[in-house]
Each structure stands twice: as C-alpha cells, then as structure tokens.
A and B are shown apart, each in its own frame.
Chain A
Amino acid sequence: MIINRFFPQFMHQDTGGKWLLSLLALVTIIVIVLNFLIPLLLPELSVLHMSNYMVTLLGKYLCLALLAIALDLVWGYCGILSLGHAAFFALGGYAMGMYLMRQIGDRGVYGNPELPDFMVFLNWHELPWYWSGFESFAFTALMILLVPGLLAYVFGWMTFRSRVTGVYLSIMTQALTYALMLAFFRNEMGLGGNNGLTDFKDILGFSLQSDGTRIIIFTLSAIALATGYIASRFIVESKLGKIVVAIRDAELRTRFIGYKVEDFKLWIFVFSAMLAGVAGALYVPQVGIINPGEFSPLNSIELAIWVAIGGRGTLFGAVIGALLVNYAKTYFTGALPEFWLFALGTLFIVSTLYLPKGIVGLFEGFQNKLKEKTA
C-alpha cells in the first residue's frame, strides 16, 4: 500500500488511524487554502472563505478529540474508568489562561500593567507567588504538562498503591474534579473565581482575534491531535501497551508474572493527564475563556460517553465519538436546545444496548460480514 509510506511502521495495521489522520490532514489543508492562501492570492474568490466561527469550532472539536484519546488510553486500554479526566484538561487550560492574562498587560479595564482586572477589582496589590513565571511562554508550556501530570502522579500513586479499582476509583476521580471545581470557584484562589480567566488579547504577540492567528492555532490543534494519536498508537502497540491491556483483563496474572502493576497504571495515567492538559491549553485560546465550569463532573461523564459511543479501546473510535457527539451537541443546542440532554441520553442508551463496541464495532461487524460473504 502506497499510503503506508506516510506512516511509521507501527501504524501499518491501523486502517482506521490511517484514514483518520489522512482526513485530518485534508481538512487542515482545506482550511489553510480557503482562509489563508485564497484571500492572499485570489481575493475575488473570497466567497469560499470559511467563517471564523467555523474554524474555531473545528479547532475546538480537535482539542476535544485529543481529550477523548487521553481517556481512551486509560479506560479503553487499562480499564481505569476515570470520571475526572476533564480536570486535567481544565488545569492545562488554566495554565494557558494564566499566560494569556499576563499577555494583556495594561490593556485591561483598569489599566494595571501588572495585575489582571479581577485582582484589581478584589483590591489585591501584588501577584500571588503562583502567578510568577507565567509571563514566559516556555514556562507556561512546561506547566501545561507538569501541573496535570503532577496531580495525576500524586492521585495515582495513592490510589493504585492501595489497589483501589473499578467503581471506587471512578467515584474518587469524580470527587477529585468536584473538589477542584469548588476550589476554583473561590475568589481567594486568585484564579478569577466563578468568572474564570477571560478577555484575552494576544498570544506570543499575535492578536487572538485575527484570522491568521486563528488558522495557526487551528493547525496546531490538528498537529497536536495527530501527534497525540501517533504517540498513543506507539504506546499501545509497544510491549508496554500489551501489558496495560493484560492488566485490564487479568490484573492478578500480570502481577504474578512479575510486573509491578501500580507502576504501569501510574505511567499511563500520568501520560494521559498530560495529553489532556495539552488539549485544554489549545482549547482555551480558541474559546477565549476558562472558568471553573470546566471542572464540572458532568463534563467528565460526557467525555466518557464520547469514548463509549465511538468505541473504546480503539483510539480512533474515541476521536470519532468526540467529533460526532460534539457536532450533534452544537447542532441540537442551536436548533432544539431543550432536547440536547435527551438526545445525549438516548445516544448513550442506544450505544450501550446495541453497540457495545461503539460505532467502530459496528463497522468491524460489517467488515466481518463482508469477509464471510466473499469467503
């Protein structure tokens, strides 16, 4: 197959992944051509220009798809149903938000060159210590990985070592994200309270409102999704990936052939949290706000639904699920807002009853039937 030349060795068997990444590349190129090259070279064809709203919406979907991959790694492959994964996403988002706040400088409502507006409003006189460093993009990039990673490490270290599994673990992850939500709602946290962080102006000196910046962030999201996908595929195809599945299927056996199960769970959990953090960091400049609502337990549950509907344990299933459900959400909340939650619930029930392996499982079923007929 000629298409294999574009992909690393470990992806040659992954038909779904190859389709997905090719499609992703195509969409990215189309967006760049329509919104960047055509206006530049052939301005008279500007009818084809995609609205900024569309570009941002697509970019948002890509970030959420990356988040879905992160959850699929721990849930679909390792069997850890984390119902608090949106917390890592939100932490990555807050780290990016803090950087963007520092970029505002004296252009805020109160014109204070040092303090963000909400701190001036609260009568604070200096930046809290944990805000230091966020004026640097490199530092922020590091924090986007480290903060979610560290939280996942500490949480995972305690729970996996005490051998907490199954439903109990899921409940604890829910509690984690809920606790974080309550904490971030407090003004004393110094992170904007219930309004969160917003009114962003620039990123690295480029205006967030400009077409060019939007396309670049969209492209970066696409690259992050592709890189995240390839890295995750590399992991699940490696021996480590096989061990992780072995832990899901027979934890005791894995332990008794000499693997330290806690270490493997912790590793995959931390990696997944970092991936979620990156997704959150790319999401925030596109939506223009981050607030404690992102920590809401409901978000994490919805995330699990995307993965379940797409097909867990397949990686590209998670992406399909995230894109499809979020597209449906955009459509329904626009056309029939009061029906969205009913539609989501129905989708979930239908998929658990009739599509235990998600939409991907449906396709595999068709393929097998075709094979049987031709054989």
Chain B
Amino acid sequence: MNTLARVRDVLRRDRTFNHTIVEENSFLQGSHSVHHNTLDTSHGPVLYLENVSVSFDGFQALNKLSLYIDDGELRCIIGPNGAGKTTMMDVITGKTRPDTGLVYFGQTMDLTQMAEHDIATAGIGRKFQKPTIFPEHSVWENLELAMKTDKGVWHTLFTVLNAEQKARIEEVMLIIGLQKHCYARANLLSHGQKQWLEIGMLLMQDPRVLLVDEPVAGMTHQEMDRTAELLTSLAGKHSVVVVEHDMDFVRSIANQVTVLHEGSVLAEGTMDEVQHNQKVIEVYLGE
C-alpha cells in the first residue's frame, strides 16, 4: 500500500467519528433557545403560556395552563387561593421551571431557558405580593437601582447618573406620587407608598410586561383608587397583568378577566361575563 492509499484508508469517507456527530439534543435546544434581544410581537400576543404544568411534591400547582397576553392589554387574573396565580408568575419570571409546556416572550424568547435576571432585562417586571423594596435605601436610590441600564458588575462600580437618567427618575417619582419623600428611607414609607414605590421600580426597568401581584392588599380606599388610576394609565404602553382578590378593584380596572382554578383557566371574558359564568359561581360560592 502506498502512502496515498494509507491516508485514504484513514480518512475513509464512510467512517463517522463520534465528535463529528451533531448531538440531536443540542441541535434542538439551539433552535429553541434562540432569543434575540429584540422582542417580536408580530403575531399579537406578547406573552405565551401553552400547556404549562408544574407540580410540587405531587401537588399540581399548574395543570396544562394556556394563557395569552396581548401587547398593551390590561389583564386581571382572579381565582381562589391555591389556584396557581403566584406559581404562574414564578414560571414567567424564571423562579420556577415548568415540568412541561411552553413559555414564550414574544415569538422568539424561550423564558424556560433564561435566568431570572435575563428575563428581567428582556422586559418583564414583577411586583411581589408583599411589597419588596430596599428598606435601607432612599426612595431615589430604590428607583436608581431599578433603572434600565447596564447591570454588569464593573459598570456599576464607576457609573454616575447622567442628566437624562435623573430626569427619568424624577418622572417616575411624579407618576407614583412620592416626590415629597425623595430622600426618605424606604422602610419609613407607609404600606401603600411601598406598593407604589415597587410599581415605580418596575417602571424604571421600562418593561414590556408588568406582572403585579395583589397591588391593593392592605390599602385604604383612596390609595386603591389611586392605584387603579396608575395601573390603567400604564396599560397601552405596557402590558399589565394584575393578580388580585379584591373584586371591586378588579371591576374598576379590567376589561378582560381570566379566572384560574386548580391550575388551569376556568373562564375568560369581561367582568360581567365571568361573574355570570355558572362554573365560576360554583367555584367561588361552592355548590
């Protein structure tokens, strides 16, 4: 055998080496997890949940939940305790990973593959049930920290606020009505003010979708009215998803209501339709 033949033998074209085989899995994942930084809402909805199931130690928190949120809409989600409202938010924000199902932000971003901070930067802001703010920071600093900007470690070490960013903080401060308390430490604020501050922090992130968990819990009536005003004014520019127990409040803001029960959608429609829905009445009032 001459040299050429020997080389040919080694490099036979019908032989496949393991490392040359593209793993099926990685190939699939590659096409799934392409998340471009631009949000594609060309088909209408900004948020897709399809057949999402989550169970904790045998408890089915979400059961084939499918839900679509349109760009710019204000949606209220109601449901009895344990219906899966908070779990749904956990799934969207990446805190909990679904057992099965698809969760997409726009057409391209697969939220089940993204880390919490990536989801937040991509444009999904979340307000927790219990007002969660930075107690030792001033109102101003709370807003400053939430601001949409480079959130890398080295950048934050040397950054200083520019005029535009200061203007943005002042603007949001006006929207949430806390300009008088600008330099007050956040844990000195009243409960309602803390809720607003947290909403303000979401606004600073400039998100496309705001997930708001029980915004009026523990608020006085005046505060509730102001919150309703605030949330309705935000819809249009942002999609707002509100989880709430207080029916009067829901009636005052929502045109579209989704009722969750035992981890899936029970009914969907306007508040009136939903209230007269037989299944909803059964769930809420019992047989």
Interface residues of A (CB under 8 A from B): 235, 238-240, 242-243, 245-246, 249-250, 252-261, 263-264, 267
Contacts and interface: CB of A to CB of B under 8 A. Distances in A.
B280 interface: no
Contacts of B80: none
Given A239-B156, A246-B145, A258 B151 contact: yes
A260 B126 CA distance: 16
Interface string B120-150: 1100011010001111110001001110100
B4 interface: no
A243 B117 CA distance: 14
A239 B159 contact: yes
Interface in B65-105: 93
B144 A256 contact: no
A2 B128 CA distance: 47
A220 to B, nearest CB: 26
Contacts of B156: 238-240, 243
Counting chain A CB atoms within 10 Å of each CB, the highest count among B117, B136, B141, B148 belongs to: B117
A256 B201 CA distance: 10
B247 interface: no
A257 B151 CA distance: 9
29 contacts: A238-B156, A239-B157, A240-B153, A242-B137, A242-B145, A243-B145, A249-B134, A249-B135, A250-B134, A250-B135, A253-B132, A253-B201, A254-B134, A254-B145, A255-B117, A255-B120, A256-B93, A256-B117, A256-B125, A256-B128, A257-B146, A258-B121, A258-B148, A259-B117, A259-B151, A260-B117, A263-B152, A264-B153, A267-B153
A258 B153 contact: no
Contacts of B116: 255-256
A253 B146 CA distance: 10
Nearest to B211: A256
Contact of B158 (A238, A250, A253): A238
B264 interface: no
Contacts of B205: 257-258
A252 B158 CA distance: 24
B198 to A, nearest CB: 8
A116 to B, nearest CB: 40
B167 interface: no
Contacts of B145: 239, 242-243, 246, 254, 257
Contacts of A238: 156-159
Given A238-B156, A242-B141, A253-B134, 8 more contacts: A245-B137, A250-B132, A253-B128, A253-B201, A256-B117, A256-B125, A257-B125, A257-B204
Contacts of A254: 134, 145
Shortest beta-carbon contacts, A-B, top 9? A258-B120, A240-B156, A258-B121, A239-B156, A240-B157, A253-B132, A257-B146, A246-B134, A260-B117
Interface range for B: 20 to 34
A242 B144 CA distance: 10
B115 interface: yes
B137 A258 contact: no
A250 B153 contact: no
A256 B121 CA distance: 9
Nearest to A244: B156
A253 B133 contact: yes
A292 B121 CA distance: 46
A356 to B, nearest CB: 15
A147 to B, nearest CB: 22
Nearest to A259: B151
Contact of B153 (A242, A245, A246, A263): A263
B126 A256 contact: yes
Nearest to B135: A249
Contact of A256 (B120, B136, B152): B120
Contacts of A263: 152-153
Counting chain B CB atoms within 10 Å of each CB, the highest count among A238, A260, A263 belongs to: A260
B205 to A, nearest CB: 6
B113 to A, nearest CB: 16
A255 B145 CA distance: 11
Contacts of B134: 245-246, 249-250, 253-254
Nearest to A263: B153
Nearest to A247: B134
B132 A257 contact: no
A365 B93 CA distance: 42
A91 B20 CA distance: 45
Contacts of B126: 256
A257 B137 contact: no
B200 to A, nearest CB: 11
Nearest to B201: A257
Nearest to A245: B136
Contacts of A261: 117
A64 to B, nearest CB: 27
A240 B152 CA distance: 9
A263 B157 CA distance: 13
A261 B95 CA distance: 14
A252 B132 contact: yes
Contact of A246 (B117, B137, B158): B137
Contacts of A242: 137, 141, 144-145
Contacts of B153: 240, 263-264, 267
Interface in B149-204: 151-153, 156-159, 201, 204
A82 B250 CA distance: 47
A240 B134 CA distance: 14
B136 A249 contact: yes
A250 B146 CA distance: 13
A243 B156 CA distance: 9
A254 to B, nearest CB: 8
Nearest to B93: A256
Contacts of A239: 144-145, 156-157, 159
Contact of A235 (B135, B157, B159, B204): B157
B141 A260 contact: no
A167 B134 CA distance: 22
B182 to A, nearest CB: 16
